[in-house]
Amino acid sequence: MFKALGKVQREDGFWNVSLLDPTNFGGKEVSGTAMFTYGMAWCINRGLISRKKYLPVVNKAWNGLVTESLHPNGFLGYVQGTGKQPSDSQPVGYDTVPNFEDFGPGCFLLAGSEMYKIH
The CA distance from 54 to 75, in Å, is: 28
∠ CA(62), CA(72), CA(24), 5° rounding? 50
Higher pLDDT, 87 or 42: 42
Residue 95 has pLDDT above 90, yes or no: no
| Residue 56, helix vs strand vs coil | helix
Question: Are the C-beta atoms of 79 and 101 separated by less than 8 Å?
Answer: yes
Reported as a pLDDT band with limits 50, 70 and 90, residue 115 is very high
Burial zone of 19 (CB within 10 Å; 0-12 exposed, 13-18 middle, 19+ buried) = middle
- Determine the pLDDT at residue 45: 98
Spell out the domain ranges in the chain. 2-18+26-118
User: pLDDT of 19-66, one tens digit each?
Assistant: 888 888 778 899 999 999 999 999 999 999 999 999 999 999 999 999
Read off the pTM: 0.91
Read off the pLDDT of each residue in 66-80 and give the average, rounded to a whole number: 92
